[in-house]
A and B are shown apart, each in its own frame.
Chain A
């Protein structure tokens, strides 16, 4: 089983490398990290103590947009593309289970996301140490937390991308669904919550439903967990006030459970695909 998963993963990684997904993802993450690091402490004001923590606070809001986007871009073609090329039918006539095929792709693509995340955050760390000296070491735990939560966030959206790839019959349809998902989950969801809070004006929605709604979205859970755990101020999000009122275990649980739930969803969607 592991041989077949690894074989699939290694082929898939070669495809990602040749397709320039690796280089594009790494370049995107490094570029944005560099820009945010260069912007320095301006957005965080006086709150942060060391330069790395300041940068991490900015990186949280960057990762929330960029990591899901990268994950969806890499993953939307996974099944629909193979089905269109006719290689899906072929692979499935081999002694290769659907779960193995999907896991192999997930492993390879998660590798790409992890490389991009590492590269980007390393740039941020290097800049922070260069400007702040050893004091920046205080921000390392926050940076590490950002790394592994980013990889888990990537895993969620890779699997969601696989699910879209299964449900759409063609790669173009899968791409449209993936972009739609990104827009809804990352952008519109928060706007919707904000609008609801404003309309609710401190009523039961704000106190009872809103904290759960925030935690149930993997991107928001990622943001809240990182903000709450590092005690930093999120300059880019209007939801920052909520972060302090939610127990840390809730977003943490969401971050850990979502990758499994999304992978299960992808697997169930794959079952419906007739090659």
Chain B
């Protein structure tokens, strides 16, 4: 499995996407990351491992704590979400431009 496949697989899970979103706001401990989810800490740790293996997050050792933060690939993934949503919306609005140019005609006809 190459790193791109790993990243896609890692991002396929909504919990892992939510973890990335939380880390986009800054470094966080495992406890802080587990808090919003009704999950055990081992379950969260498993998700963190998948994200780490995919190169999306990194771990720092600070005494007994191991806070996580976004890796460069994780930041790029977040940017990509926006870019792809932008693309889908742009396609919609380009289609709407065409629909609107077709709608103008009957309105002019009303002045008959």
Q: Do A and B bind each other?
A: no
